[in-house]
Amino acid sequence: MKINQFLKNEKLTVSPEPPYDALQAFVRDNHIALEGAKDGPLRGLAFAIKDVFMVKGSTYGNGHPEWLRTHGPDPYTAVSVLKLLDSGADLVGKTVCDELCFSISGENWNYGSPLNPYDIRRYTGGSSSGSGAATAGGLVDFATGSDCLGSVRVPAAYNGLLGMRPTYKRVDNDGEAPYCESMDVLGYVAKEPDVFKKVSEVLLGEDEKKTPFQQVYVARDCFEAVDADVAEALTPAVDHVSKHVGPAKEVTVAKEGFDKWIEIFKTVQGYEVYESYGGWLDKYKPRLSRGPKERLAWAKTIQRHEYLEAKTKREELLKGFREFLPEDAVLVLPTAASVAPLKTDSLEEINRVRAQSTSLLCISPLTGTPQVTVPLVDQHDVPLGLTLIAREGTDMQLANLAADLVSSFRR
C-alpha cells in the first residue's frame, strides 16, 4: 500500500495555480507560491509551509474553512518565510494541517487528510500533516510546521523524516497563527541529511555555547511507557547513537511519574489555546470535528487559578530538568509510542497509543528544550522514530548530530 511508487518524485515548481499532488498535502483555496533569491545557501531547494503562517498576498487558513472565511488577507509575511526565501529557497505552496492544529492524527475532514507515502492505510501524524507528507513523498525538499505537542515531531516519525523542534523562542515565529504562546514553536522537517543541515543553519544560526556531546542518557521510563516490541525495535538505533556520542546509561526522567507532567501540560496548553480561539469560537460558532470540539470544550472549563498553578509547577519541572540533564548529554527516547497507527484501528487502540505518546511528547515543550527526531529504523515495514533531546541552546549541535547519525546509518 505504499504510494511512493506512484509519484514521479519530481519537485513542484513555483506556480500561480494550486499544486496537484497525489498525497493531498497542499491547500487549494488559499494557495500562494514565491520564488526565492537568486543566490543563497538554499538556492535550488523547494519548500512548503504549514497553513498557519502569514504570507502577504494570501490568507492563512489554520485548518478550517470558517477561519479562512472570517479573516482578511495577511498583512505581512512571517519572518521565517522571508528568511528562507532570502536564502534562495522557492516556496511552492501551503500544506494542510489538522483542524485548528488541535490534534496529532493528521486528519482534516474539511480539506481531505494528507496521505502517508509509506502506507496510505496509516495516519500521517499531525498537526503538520501536509508538511510531513509532502516532504516524505519527495514533492518538496523541506517544509516548516509548528509544534506544541508533537505537531512536527509526530509527522517526522510517522513519515521517516528528520524533524526539529527548536529551543523555545530560538526561531522567530512571528506571523504564525495564535495557539499556545508559552510552548508552541516553529519546527521543520527534511528527508535528506544535507538539506536538514542547510535549513538548520539558516533557521537556527550558531549556538552561543558549544559543549560537545559525550554521553547518552537512555530514558528508562520513556521506553517503559511504550510496548515492549517498540522498545526492542529501537535498540539498534539507541546503540548507533551511543557509538557516535559516548557511553550510555539508563535514567528516569519523571521521578514523580508522567501523569503529573501531562496534567501540567494539558492545563497550560488548554488555557492558552482557548485564550487564542475562544473569542472567535463564540462569535462564529464554527462546525468542528469531534476531537478538536471535545478538547476545546474541555479547555473552556479551565480556570485561571488552575492555569497559574500549572505554570508554577512547570517552572519547577524546568528547573529540575536543567539539573538532571548535563550540557554534554543527549537524552534518547522514542519519538512516538509506535509507528503510524492504521486508520482501521479501534478508537480504544488509537486513544491508548495517543496516551502513551503524550508522555513522550510533553517533555520538550514543558522544559523548553530542543528535540530532534531521527529516522534510523523501521517496524512493520514503515518508519519508527527515535528522539534526541538536549539542553536549551544546543540546537545547531543537535541538528548536526542528527544529520550525521542518519548519514552514517544509511551507509
- What is the C-alpha to C-alpha distance for residues 158 and 117, in angstroms, rounded to an integer? 10
Look up the pTM and report it.
0.97
pLDDT at position 31: 96
pLDDT at position 123: 96
pLDDT by residue (tens digit) across 184-240?
A: 999 999 999 999 999 999 999 999 999 999 999 999 999 999 999 999 999 999 999
Q: Which residues pair with 331 in a beta bridge?
A: 217, 389
Domain 4-204, CATH among 3.40.50.2300, 3.90.1300.10, 3.40.605.10, 3.40.50.300: 3.90.1300.10
Which positions are catalytic? Answer: 50, 127, 151
Residues 57-66 have a mean pLDDT of 97
pLDDT by residue (tens digit) across 208-219?
A: 999 999 999 999
**Beta-sheet strands, E only, within 23-172:** 46-50, 90-95, 142-147, 162-165
Instruction: Tell me which H or E stretch contains 189.
Output: strand 185-190
- What is the C-alpha to C-alpha distance for residues 400 and 273, in angstroms, rounded to an integer? 33
pLDDT interval class at 17 (50, 70, 90): confident
Which letter, b or e, does each residue of 343-372 get, where b requires 16 or more Cβ atoms within 10 Å of its Cβ?
beeeeeeeebbbebbbbbbbbbbbbbbbbb
Each as own residue / partner, the long-range contacts of residues 318-323 (CB below 8 Å, 24 or more positions apart, any chain) are: 318/366, 318/367, 318/368, 321/363, 321/366, 321/367, 321/369, 322/367, 322/391
Residue type, 286: P
Q: What are phi and psi of 117, to 5 degrees?
A: -65, -20
Can you give the residue ranges of every domain in the chain?
4-204, 215-258+307-410
Residues 29-50 have a mean pLDDT of 97
pLDDT at position 5: 43
Residue type, 212: P
- What is the C-alpha to C-alpha distance for residues 88 and 127, in angstroms, rounded to an integer? 27
pLDDT at position 10: 62
Residue 184, CA atoms < 13 Å, CB-side half-sphere? 23
Which letter, b or e, does each residue of 82-103 get, where b requires 16 or more Cβ atoms within 10 Å of its Cβ?
bebbebbbbbbbbbbbbbbbbb
Instruction: Tell me which H or E stretch contains 311.
Output: helix 304-324
Task: Please give the grid coordinates belonging to residue 218.
Answer: 537512555
pLDDT interval class at 6 (50, 70, 90): very low
pLDDT by residue (tens digit) across 81-114?
A: 999 999 999 999 999 999 999 988 999 999 999 9
Task: Please give the grid coordinates belonging to residue 186.
Answer: 516553529
